[in-house]
Structure 1
Amino acid sequence: MTISICLTANPFTQLTDSNWRFKSSESDYMINGLPNGVLTSVKDTNHPFKKYVMLMITKILESHYGTYTLQVKNKFNVQQLTHVISLLPEGPPVTPRDIKIIYITAVSIYLEWTAGFDGGPDQTFWLNVFDRETSDWFIVNNIPDTTKGQGGLFEYKLTTKQGLLPGHKYIIHVGAINSISNVTGSSVMAQIKRLLDKGLPVITIIGSTFGVLVTAGIVTIITLLWRRGRICKGICGRYCYYMSFNH
């Protein structure tokens, strides 16, 4: 294992002016090397003032798990680096949290949650979906971790093809699993929108039918009037004139 930190300084520090600090639950001390470790540095050939200071450990022991920081100095000052590197043993994934609904359609639920560190081995996510209407449940497994184990916001679309039913209410739990263990995270409740019946709305159908009936009625009236020798030339006008025909 190699812990490497990139430094930029002018004039640059010497390796003898670099000290690693190690801290764990049982230890807190400055180290200039380990029985099975090597301190070294490598210059960046593309940058005259940049160097990589590295602590290389050839064999990881349980006592090496903890946090490492690097203290460096040149002739001007001593600077404690603000970032910390943690070396942790492999373990269960960090529990996913803060699951919430982004939006819902008639066929899907768009979810978002905060993924945690994968624990070392690759993790995948799973969803436990409980139907409050039928008391049935189903599980969606093997959801790939797009955060590549580093954690952060994660989005996923759950659809009717996976078992959702329109109009039903669901309680959804999110969890994570790796080769070591399985953890259950937070939950959220959602209701799928109901699907609308296919076809034209009833009022449209009625309106169209009514229009046909009205039109047919007007044509019938005009036809009867024509046969009787009278026709109204201004059905919608202010005055109505009639013409007589000899039979």
Structure 2
Amino acid sequence: MFGINVTCHTRIDTSLKMKTLYGSKSGQDVKVNVAVPVIANPPPQKSALRWFGPMTNASISPSTVSQQNVLYKHWINSSIPIINQNYFGNYTLKYNTIEVITITINAEDVPQVPHNFTGYSYASGYINLTWVSGFDGGKVQHFILSVKDQFRWQEVANLSDPGQGRVVHYESGRLNAGQKYRYQLKSCNIINCSKESPEITITAKGKMDIQ
């Protein structure tokens, strides 16, 4: 009897369902585990496997290769780090120079705390607040502005997001001149809300303060 050894190049094993769309948070210790089913004989060499993604300097650990239930079927197992929002996007696995598969990792996280939250009183009894919109976590976000009275925080505005990096404006209605107002801000999306921003305190100008 003669044994026949058939050589086949590394390609996706279409007999198994392959997940190509992932959702993830981001952070220093966050990784997305990806298992790619392939057909190959001889088995794929780890040194020839490489992921290409949005960050050219991403430190993706070498993939491991494990055999399925037959000699020519294998799993390529990888862990892709998602350190911050710049790591979301498409990732293509190549064996040498041949594309094996492309996956997409989307953001599914709480939004960032808004940046540069500040304000001033610009007329008798009026306050203007501004902040810069941060990363929305991959979902539509909005901003909740609260003011503290004697006993508790109360929501005074719910504002839409103009887009990351854009400045958001809020103008108060007529307030009590000479009174101090404490404000706090957070971003929210369908997943959850960010931490509150550091609170700011602004004194509403009186008529004698206007020059």
Using the size of structure 2 for normalisation, the TM-score is: 0.48
Max Rg structure: 1
More helix by share: 1
Using the size of structure 1 for normalisation, the TM-score is: 0.42
More strand by share: 2
